[in-house]
Amino acid sequence: MEAIRKYIDADRLMSVMTLPETFKNRKLEVLIFPTEEQEPEKADIASVVQSLIGAIPATGMSLAEMQEERRHKYETAD
């Protein structure tokens, strides 16, 4: 793995990032390493739809019938 090591005045770094006040007017050692993070995979629509299959059981009821059933169920719940 490649790395970079530099000594730099804190004043030059403060324009790039926030540093503690105790670093002001000091020379700093900066180490830079590449991250091992990978870019997140982009999901395609087909795989998203496939993951939802079976999430809602097929009952043969219309949407209006399902809504009415749910309304009745939650109206009578304590």
On the question of pLDDT at 10 being above 70, the answer is: yes
Q: Which amino acid makes up residue 66?
A: M
DSSP letter string over 6-27? EEEEHHHHTTTS---GGGTTSE
Q: Which residues form the domain of 27?
A: 1-34
Position 78 in a domain = no
Which element (helix H / strand E) includes 45?
helix 45-52
Position 75 in a domain = no
Position 15 in a domain = yes
Closest CA to 32 of 2, 58, 55, 69: 2
Position 30 in a domain = yes
Going by their DSSP bridges, the two strands 27-32 and 4-9 should be labelled as antiparallel
Position 39 in a domain = no
Write out pLDDT tens, residues 16-63: 888 898 998 999 999 999 888 777 777 788 877 777 776 667 778 888
- The total domain count for the chain is 1
